[in-house]
Structure 1
Amino acid sequence: MTAPTRVVVEPAFTAPVHVPVLVIGAGACGLTAALRLADRGIECVVAERDERPAGSTSLSSGFIPAAGTQVQRALGVDDSPERFAQDIQHKAHGTAAPHLVKAYTEAIAPALDFLADHHGLQWEVLDGFLYPGHTRHRMHTLRERTGEALVQALAQAQERCEIPLLTQARASELVVDKAQRVLGVRLQRPDGSLEAVACDALLLACNGYGGAPDLLQRFVPEMVAATFAGHPGNDGTAVRWGEALGARLADLRAYQGHGSWAVPHAVLITWALMVEGGVQINARGERFHDESQGYSEAALHVVAQPGGQAWNVFDDQVLALAQGFPDFVQAQQAGAVRTCADVGALAALIGCDPSTLQATLDGVAPDTADPFGRGFRRTLQAPFHAVRVTGALFHTQGGLDVDAQCRVLDAAGQPLPNLWAAGGAARGVSGHDVSGYLSGNGLLSAVAGGFIAADSLARHLQPETAP
C-alpha cells in the first residue's frame, strides 16, 4: 500500500543514514546535480522511486537546447546565451521568469561541456532543421537521439563515480523542524516499510503534477481529460510538500503538451514532420491550425477536433528526414505510419470527402495565402504518409518558485533554510500557459537547473571553498 505524501514537523530526527545532500529523483536533473556535487567534493545520495533511473527524461526526445557549447562552436554556429534567452521570451510572450531564463541560458553550455569533459557524454548538434521558435541550431543530443539513451548515459556516469543510488525508494514524508529546516526524508520501500535518511540539504529533482488529476483540475483543467503521456512519477509531490511548507508556487498554468501522440500505438511522433512541411488534417479533411507554431500548443488544437484526433500527413521527402529518428522508425515498424498512393486513398483512410481533402492539400503550396498564416516552401507530393494522432500532456512547467540559485522561496520571496528544487519540481521558463513552451525547455530546466543547484549547494555547505 502506498503511504500518503506529507510534511511532518519533528523537533529532532534520527536516521541510520545522514548525508550532506539528499537528491530526490534520478532523471536528468537529479543525476546531473549528483555528478556536479561529486565534482565539487560534496557527498550525496540519490533516491529514485522506480527500479532504475528513468523519469520524464526517458520519455523525452533527449534533445537539450544550449548556446555556446564546445561542439556548437566547432560547427561554427553563431549563437549566444543572450540570443537563446530572446528566443525563450519570444515564445513565452515575455512572461518567462527573467532571472531563470538568464540563469539557465548561461549555465546550460557549461553543464553540457562538463558532462562531456568529465563524464564522456558525446554531444551532437541537430543541424538538419530548426525546431519552432529557435533561431539557431542548438539542439544537443547523444548519437542515439533518445531520452532513454540520455538518462542511461547519466546513470552510467553516476555508477562510475560510485554515487549512492537508492532505487524503489518513494519519497513519502518530508521531515522539517519548526523553523522549516529540512531534517530528512522517509522513503517508502516496496514492502511498505519506511527508510529514514537525514540530510543537511535537500534537492527536489523529482516531478511535476501532470499525473495528479486533482492538481490538474486546479491548475490546467483543460487537460484533465487529455491523454497523459508523461511518467507516473509526476504525482505532484514537490508541489504538495511546497504548499505544506508555505512555499511560493509559480507559473502553474504552464505545461508541455504535444499534438503528435500516435493512437492507438501510444508513441511520440517527431514534430520534425510538421517543421519540414507536413500538415495536420482532421476527420473532415481540413487543416485547423498553423503547425509551424510548436507542438505544445498543438495539443489543444488537436484535442478540440472531432473525436479529439487528427492525422499527420506528409510525403516521401519528409519521411526520409523522419527516418533519422529512432523513435519514428520504431513507430513505423509498429504500423503507426500508413501509406496512401493518392488523395483518394488518403481520404478513404481518414474517412473524409475526397474533394474537401483535395482542396486542403491544394492550399499547401508556396505563394498561397494560408488562413492560419503559415508559409509553405513546397507542395506535398503523392504518395502520402499518414499517422493518426491525438493531443497529449507530457509534463507541467509550473511548480515551486525558486531564485536564480534554485533555492525554494517562501511566500515573502525569501529562500527556505536548506531546500532546493529544479527540473519538474520547480517553475520553468515557459511563461504562463501552454503556448510558451519552446522546444527543449523541459530538459533545459532539468540539466541547467541541476547543475546550478549543485553549485549553489556546494557554496551553502562549503562556503570557504566555493568560488
Structure 2
Amino acid sequence: MKRRALLAAMPLLAAMPMRVLASAPEIWDRQYDVVVLGSGGAGLAAALSAAARGLTVAVFEKNARIGGDTLNSSGFFNAAGLSGTKDKPIDHAREMIELGEGLNDPELVRIFTENCPGTFKWLQSLGMQFEDKPYKIYGTKEFRSYRPNRPRGTGYIHALGEASLKAGVSIELGCTAVDIYHVPETRQVLGVLIEKDGRSFSVRARRGIVLATGGFGANAEMLRRYAPELSALQHDSTPGATGDGHRLAERAGADLVNMQFVEIVPGGPVSIPYVIRLDIYPDRMVMVNARGERFVDERSDRKTLGEAILAQPGGIAYTITDNETVSSSDILDQKYLHQARHAGVVVRARNWAELAEKLSVPRHALERTLARACAGRTGQTSEGPCRRIVRRAPFWAQKIELHIHVTLGGVRINSKAQVLDKNGVPISGLYAAGEIVGNLHGAVRLGGNGVSSAVVFGRIAGENI
C-alpha cells in the first residue's frame, strides 16, 4: 500500500458477529509470523517492533484509514523524568495507583511508567517531534505530558505508519476479524478469519495475534450492558470502536475486567463532526454552572470532573478560557474552535459582561467568580486555587456536552502483554495493547496516559510475541 493511500479516506462502520473457531483450515489462505488487529498507536507499534526482529507481519484494519482513536486524540504523551523535571516514573506510578482504586495491576503500572521515557525517545528516533517542556493537562496533577509538534495524534500515525511500511509490514484496510482459530485442548491461538468486501479468508499467525482493536465507546449495546447510566451520552471514538477484540478475546477464554468503568470528558454537540475542547489545560480555564458559579477544582481527576458536571442544575455547565490559551493550542484545535464559533457552538466575547450575556448566565455572579478565580481566591474549600486564567480578551466559552471518551475495561494482560485467562494463565499466541487492555488504568485513567500506554504496550507485545 502506498503512503498517500494509507493515510487517506474516511472510516467505515459496523461491527460483525463473531465466534471462535476450534478447527483450523487444512490450507491457510495467507500466512505470517505475526498478525496485528488494529492500526492505531498500539497496533502500529506492535507491528513495527515485531518486524524489527525479522518477523513477517500483517496489520488488518477495520476502518478505511489507519490511525484508530490515536489519530483523534489530543496527542499528549506522558513520560516522567525527562527535561530535568523532579517528576519520576515512581511518581507517575503512584498517581496511577491512587486513581485506580486498587483495580489496576501494580506490576503493569510499574512496567508502563518505567518504559515511558524510553518509548518517548524511540518515537523521536522515528521522526516524532515534541515540544521541549511538558504540560499539565486535563485530569493530571504534574507537568509530564508532552505535546507533539504535529496536531493531535497525526504525528504518531505518520511516523509509525511510514516506519512500518519501510520495515515490510503489510497493512490492509477494510478488514474485520470475525473468528479466531485455536486448539481446543490447549487454547493456543492459530490464526484469524478476516472478512473484506463480503468475502472471507483465513490467516495463519505462526507466532501469534496482537489485539489492538481499541475500546467499545461506539457500541451502544455494550455500553448499555456495562455502563447503563452513561449509555445515553454521545461518544468521540472512531466508528470502529465497537469492542470487536473484547468479544473475540472473551470467546477465546480471556478474562475481561473493569468493564463498568467509562471515562467521560467535555466536548461539543453531535451537530459538528470534529472534537472541540477548551478544557485541556486545567490552570488556564474555569468551569461554571448556569448560575455563573464555579463548582469544581478544574485540576481534579477525570472521574471527579465528570461527576461534578453531571451534578449541576439541569446538567448545564460551561468551560471558559482566554485568547492566550486558544492561541497556544495546536493548529488543528484552533481551526476547529474557529469553525465551532462560526457554527454558534463556541462563543467569543470582548469582556466578562458580554460573555455572561452570550451564555445567558447572571452577569455579576460570573464577574465575581472569574475575578476570584484569577486572583487565586475561590471562596469554597471544595474548590482549589486557580491562577493565570481568563486574563486576556477576547474570552472563549463553550457549553459542556459530555462525551464517552474512553472505555477502561478489557482483557487482563501480564508484563509481556500476553492475554490472560480467568485463572491468570497466558493464552498461547494472544497478546493485547491499547484501549482493549483492562487492568492498567483501573477505575480512573490519568490524563495523557492514552497514547503513551498504547505505544508502550504495543512495543512490548511486538518484542515478546
TM-score, reference length from structure 1: 0.87
Shift of 1:213: 1.7
Shift of 1:147: 0.9
**Do the aligned partners of residues 246 and 55 (structure 1) sit closer, same or farther apart at CA in structure 2, a change above 3 Å counting?**
same
Q: Which runs of 5+ in 2 are unaligned?
A: 1-13
Match of 1:120 among 109, 127, 140: 127
Cα-to-partner distance string for 1:301-354 (whole Å, 9 max, x where unaligned): 3344455442211234434434x4531343224425422233432222122333
Aligned to 1:175: 181
Q: In the alignment, is residue 254 of structure 1 matched against residue 264 of structure 2?
A: no
Cα-to-partner distance string for 1:230-279 (whole Å, 9 max, x where unaligned): 11221111221222223211122233321244664354344656522321
User: Where has structure 1 moved over 6 Å in runs of 4 or more?
Assistant: none
Looking at structure 1, the residues matched to 237 and 43 of structure 2 have their Cα atoms a distance apart, in angstroms, of 17
Shift of 1:219: 1.9
Looking at structure 1, the residues matched to 421 and 242 of structure 2 have their Cα atoms a distance apart, in angstroms, of 22
**Do the aligned partners of residues 149 and 428 (structure 1) sit closer, same or farther apart at CA in structure 2, a change above 3 Å counting?**
farther
Q: In the alignment, is residue 101 of structure 1 matched against residue 140 of structure 2?
A: no
Aligned to 2:360: 351
Aligned to 1:62: 75
Q: Which amino acid aligns with 1:372?
A: S
Identical-residue share of aligned pairs (%): 29
Cα-to-partner distance string for 1:425-465 (whole Å, 9 max, x where unaligned): 21153212xxx2111222122111101111111xxxxxxxx
Aligned to 1:41: 54
Aligned to 2:7: none
Q: In the alignment, is residue 164 of structure 1 matched against residue 170 of structure 2?
A: yes
Aligned to 1:146: 152
Match of 2:27 among 11, 14, 25: 14
- 1:39-438 counterparts in 2 under 5 A? 39-68=52-81, 72=82, 75-117=83-125, 119-127=126-134, 129=136, 132-135=139-142, 137-179=143-185, 180-190=187-197, 192-200=198-206, 201-261=208-268, 264-270=271-277, 274-295=281-302, 297-305=304-312, 308-322=315-329, 324=330, 326-335=332-341, 336-364=345-373, 365-378=375-388, 380-381=390-391, 383-432=394-443, 436-438=444-446
**Do the aligned partners of residues 97 and 271 (structure 1) sit closer, same or farther apart at CA in structure 2, a change above 3 Å counting?**
farther
Q: In the alignment, is residue 26 of structure 1 matched against residue 29 of structure 2?
A: no
8 Å CA contact retained: 2:135, 2:147: no
Could you say what secondary structure the match of 1:404 adopts? coil
Structure 1, 272-281 or 384-393: larger mean CA deviation? 272-281
Cα-to-partner distance string for 1:136-164 (whole Å, 9 max, x where unaligned): x4323431131123212211221222211
Looking at structure 2, the residues matched to 2 and 128 of structure 1 have their Cα atoms a distance apart, in angstroms, of 37
Looking at structure 1, the residues matched to 307 and 234 of structure 2 have their Cα atoms a distance apart, in angstroms, of 11
Looking at structure 2, the residues matched to 383 and 258 of structure 1 have their Cα atoms a distance apart, in angstroms, of 25
8 Å CA contact retained: 1:91, 1:133: no
8 Å CA contact retained: 2:136, 2:281: no
Q: Which amino acid aligns with 1:22?
A: V
8 Å CA contact retained: 2:245, 2:436: yes
Structure 1, 40-49 or 384-393: larger mean CA deviation? 384-393
Structure 1, 5-14 or 448-457: larger mean CA deviation? 5-14
Structure 1, 296-305 or 102-111: larger mean CA deviation? 296-305
Looking at structure 1, the residues matched to 352 and 107 of structure 2 have their Cα atoms a distance apart, in angstroms, of 50
Could you say what secondary structure the match of 2:184 adopts? coil
8 Å CA contact retained: 1:15, 1:196: yes
RMSD over equivalenced CA pairs, Å: 2.5
Looking at structure 1, the residues matched to 15 and 233 of structure 2 have their Cα atoms a distance apart, in angstroms, of 25
Q: Which amino acid aligns with 2:413?
A: V
Cα-to-partner distance string for 1:56-97 (whole Å, 9 max, x where unaligned): 1011011111235xxx3xx33344322221222233345422
8 Å CA contact retained: 2:236, 2:404: yes
Could you say what secondary structure the match of 2:209 adopts? strand
Looking at structure 1, the residues matched to 168 and 26 of structure 2 have their Cα atoms a distance apart, in angstroms, of 27
Q: In the alignment, is residue 443 of structure 1 matched against residue 456 of structure 2?
A: no
8 Å CA contact retained: 1:286, 1:356: yes
Q: Which amino acid aligns with 2:361?
A: C
Cα-to-partner distance string for 1:205-234 (whole Å, 9 max, x where unaligned): 112111122221222222201111111221
Looking at structure 2, the residues matched to 2 and 127 of structure 1 have their Cα atoms a distance apart, in angstroms, of 38
